[in-house]
Amino acid sequence: MLRRHFLATLAAASAPLSLRAQTTGSPLPIKLALKCGMAQFGANLEEKFRILKELGYDGVELDSPGVQNKDEALAASKATGLPIHGVVDSIHWKIRLSDPDASVREEGLKGLLTAIRESHACGGSAVLLVPGVVDAKTNHDDACSRSIEQIHKALPLAAELGIHILIENVWNRMFYTEDGGNSQSAEKLVAYLDQIASPWVGSYFDIGNHQRFAKPAEWIRTLGKRIVKLDCKDWSVKGGFGKIGEGDIDWPDVRKALAEINYTGWATAEVQGGDPNACGEILAQMKKHLLGT
> What gap in Å lies between CA 78 and CA 274, rounded to an integer?
24
Q: Measured over all CA atoms, what is the biggest interatomic distance in the chain, rounded to whole angstroms?
A: 72
Mean pLDDT of the chain: 89
Torsion sign, CA atoms 19, 24, 29, 34:
positive
What is the spatial distance between Cα 239 and Cα 216, in angstroms, rounded to a whole number?
18
Q: Is the pLDDT of residue 150 over 60?
A: yes
Q: How are the residues of the chain apportioned to helix, strand and coil, as percentages rounded to the nearest 5?
A: 50, 20, 35
Confidence band, pLDDT 50/70/90 cuts, at residue 21: very low
Residue 3: predicted pLDDT: 37
- The helix/strand/coil state of 279 is helix
Across 41-66, average pLDDT? 97
Cα–Cα distance for residue pair 141/281, rounded to 1 Å: 42
Phi and psi at residue 63, in whole multiples of 5°?
-100, 155
* pLDDT tier for residue 183 given thresholds of 50, 70 and 90: confident
Q: Regarding predicted confidence, which is higher, 20 or 95?
A: 95
Give the pLDDT of residue 85: 98
**Is the distance from CB of 84 to CB of 266 less than 8 angstroms?**
no
How much is the pLDDT for 2? 34
Peptide bond into 216 cis (omega under 30): no
DSSP state letters, 209-222: HHHTTS-HHHHHHH
Of the candidates 73, 71, 19, 14, the residue with the CA atom closest to the CA atom of residue 49: 73
Q: Give CA–CA dist 25/182, Å, rounded.
A: 36
What is the pLDDT averaged over residues 59-70? Answer: 94
Considering just the CA atoms, what is the radius of gyration of the chain in Å?
20
Over residues 147-171, mean pLDDT? 96
Average of per-residue pLDDT across 232-239: 94
What mean pLDDT is predicted for residues 29-36? Answer: 96
Q: How confident is the model at residue 214 (pLDDT cuts 50, 70, 90)?
A: confident
Q: What pLDDT is recorded for position 15?
A: 41
The better pLDDT of the pair 9, 279 is held by: 279
pLDDT at 185 (0 to 100):
80
Question: By C-alpha distance, which of 91, 88, 26, 36 is closest to 60?
Answer: 36
pLDDT at 170: 87
Q: pLDDT grade, residue 196 (50/70/90)?
A: very high
DSSP state of 293: -
Check whether 160 has a pLDDT greater than 50.
yes
> How many whole angstroms separate alpha carbon 76 and alpha carbon 73?
5
Residue scoring higher pLDDT (132 or 180): 132
Q: Span 224-238, mean pLDDT? A: 96
Where is pLDDT greater, at 105 or 29? Answer: 105
